Each structure stands twice: as structure tokens, then as C-alpha cells.
Structure 1
């Protein structure tokens, strides 16, 4: 592994970790960062998915006590069983649609300009939801993730499935969707964290198996460095986000998405940056 490749792996890992759990789309940022770094071949695409496992390990560490409690109670604790069933139900919409539409979406939308458009549209949706919540505060039906019903979980899962469109943001779709369905901001954010565990880990395993022909043992250092960078940055981000949402809404992320998307579109239109497809 060359120094240049190691630096690319570190940068991509930091981008993944800092953006995975914020409502700004890690996939979109990785596509744009990979384009700027000329890191866009088939191996790079697998790398972008695999380093998500590093980011999700940060959530596992942050909620390790809760995860151990759920896993140890699966055979005897109805509360743990209900929680796990909710995660499975919420995971299914994205999994099924991903298998059916994943290849078509990747070929058509995993490009800088569609990603930039998704950034902008998603930003305006967040602004609309936050403004609606201020003018007409929704009735909070679910105080914590343990109070969620199967229908609640399914609705949030359908919202997560929208994130198959790159630039949408998986965390943004699940958090905003959950808030629209009656969850308070903290519970919506925590369920988004928990739902990320099966979603991202299974995506990593699936990608490694499917694309195993383009990988070799020589790629381990690159994947390892990227995953470590993703873990560290994601851990810092998760800790910060949990403090942030206690006193703030997501308006600042909406404006970031809109401005960033406009910059990408302008740079593409005027030729300031040659974005790789």
C-alpha cells in the first residue's frame, strides 16, 4: 500500500465517520470525496461500504450496555424480544428494495450531480419538517424506543428505504421520518443509531461476498486504516450529536445540505471541478 493510497483511505474513513450519523448523507459525501480523490473504481466502491462497519462499531461501543442487555434477554425478556423484532421489521423495507432496485440505483444515481440534487431536496424537506414542528408541534405518542409498536418500526423502516437514493441520508430519513410519525427527537435519533447496526453490518457482509473477486489480501491494510479512521470519527460524532439534539434542531444541517449541493452543481456546471463519474 502506497502512502498516497493510505492517505486516501484515512480521508475516506474520516468522511464516513463524521457523516454517517448526521442527516447529511455519508454516501453522498463519499461519492463526492472519492471523485475528488480519483478513488472511484470497483474496489473503491466496496471500500466505501465496508468502512461503514468501522463507523457502526462506534455505535456498538457507545450503546454496549444496552446491546448486551438485549442480546442476553432474547430468550426470556419480552422487552428485549420486542426491541429486536422492531429492528428486524424496520430493516426489511430497505433490504427488500435494495435487492430489487440496488443495481439500477447505483448505475443511474451514484454520480455527483444527482447526489447534489438529493442534498438540496433533502435540505428543503428538513426545513419544512422543522418549521411544521415549530408551528404545530406533533403529539408525541412514543416517549422512548421501547414504546415503539411494530407499525411504528415499519413506518421508520419505510422512511429509511428512501435513503437508497444517494445524497438522501439514511440517518436523516430515519430521524426525520420517526419524528413525523410521533417520536421525540432523542428517541428518533437513538432508534436511527440502533437500526444502523443490522443495516450497515449486513450491507458490509453482502458487499464483501458479492465483490470478493475484486479483492485480495493485499487490500487488508487499506480497509483496516479506513475502518479505524471511520470508528474514531464516528465515535466523536455520535457523542457530539447526542449532546447537540438536546438543545438544537436540524435546521443547520438542512442549510448545509442546500449550500453544499448548490456549490457542487455550480462547480460542475462552470467546470470549476471535473467530477469523476
Structure 2
């Protein structure tokens, strides 16, 4: 099984302050773990290209694109930041990093649909699932998965796409973009009540949202996935599956209070891949979202990729 691994050093240049948990070291921690686990050499490693503004505009408003493009500080102002919200900011390299992140998701989509690879993982930042059509928020600039899904629908002609989101936070941006869109089914679990305090009030008919209380453990999550996600996905029969792969539900991650471990991510990935094998010719594109404990992040991504690559 061939798995593409998309990343780019530009994604390490975006940073929002030395204190910020969404830091460049996240990508290095993943790479280090892949090397230590002897996985990286078994992947089809590819540089993330730059997304075009036309690709972004299929999802985001002109104002949302303008705000990021035009407000990045000068490269001469290496330590200057422009705030987008209380915890999201631009530095001199954020525009290019954001284009790489979205570009990776688009390129991975094309590679999978062209049968160059069977599936792909995008180790990119900034993450994307909180970015709505009109607003960047929650560490996210553009909604990388949504941009890729729109590409698959509008450019590549797919009719039914599923999005799986297992971040500790609700993917409010993705829900905003695809609310009531019959071409997309989104399934997710998230800690509730918790940022961004959404996903429970009258979710759209194409959303399978599973709010879970703090301190929920892996076995509880697995049961909910079996009860809710898997029947919905089988009934929908997706032609391709995208994963918003957040690893901040790990028990070692202080960003949330859920209790997942690497074995739970392995189980979820296998379950998703089984659906993909049944209905979508195995076509899966997974994009990094959250995960802020560097050790847990590296281990969890390695476990996730091992399943994608058929190494587990």
C-alpha cells in the first residue's frame, strides 16, 4: 500500500509567538517519530505545493483571503505579529505557510484520485477545521480539508464525500462551510462543553456530531463511533473520505480533557479505512489538525500513518 506524505518547510516558518502551543516544533516532532519508527523511508514523501487563490475562493470569501494575504508583517519584522483573534495571529510567513497547507490537501486529493498513491497524510500547519467561510479562528487560517473537498467535488467531479473529524474540538468551520450540503457527510466527536462551544445546537442534517464529556476514555469513544459514525458512513456510501486528524484528544495533551491513546487512533483509522475500502476504492486523505503535546503527537501520528500505509 502506497501512502503519500506531504509537508513543506514553509509550514515551520509560520509561528504565533514563542508561548503558543500551535508551534513549528509540532511538525518536527512528527518527522522525528517517523524516522525513529523507521516509517518515513516507506512513505512517498512529497513537497506541498502552493494553493491558488482560486482554490481558496471556492470555500472562503474574498475578504477572508484578503485579510490574511494583506496583513502579514514584513519579513524584515521577524518577531512582529498581526492578531486575527485572541489566539490566532499572522507572522511574516503565514500567508505562504497557509497556501502550502491548503495546497498539500489539494495535491494529495489529486494524487489519490489519479491512483498515484492509495492514500495520503498531510503534515501541515496552520491547521484548518475552525476556519469558516468568512473568518479565520482557533489557530486556523484557511480550512485545508474543506478546500480539498471542494476541489474533489467541483474540479474532479465526485458526488459524495465523507469528512471524519476526531479532534478534541468541534470542527465548526467545516460544519459552517458544508452545512446542509448533500454532497458531504461529516462525522465527528468532540469534548463538550468546550471551545468553540458549537456542534450541539440544531446540527445540520448532514452532520453526525457526537459531543462527549471531559474525561471520556477510548472505549467509550469507540462505542460511540460504532453506534453513530459507522452506520451513517455505510448508508452514505462515500466516494472518498477526508480526515481532519486532530490528536489533542490524547490523554497526555493538556489542550483537552479526553483520554485517548495511540491504540484508539489505530482503531479509528482502521474503521475509517474499512469504510473507504468498501465504498471509496480505499481513497483517504488525512490532514493534521490539533495535537499539542509533542511526544504524544509524534507517537499518535506515527500510529495513524502506519495503519494508512498498511504497516500495522
- Structure-1-length-normalised TM-score: 0.28
Query: Which structure is richer in relative contact order (CA contacts within 8 A, separation 6 or more)?
Result: 1
Higher strand share: 2
Higher helix share: 1
The structure number with the bigger radius of gyration is 1
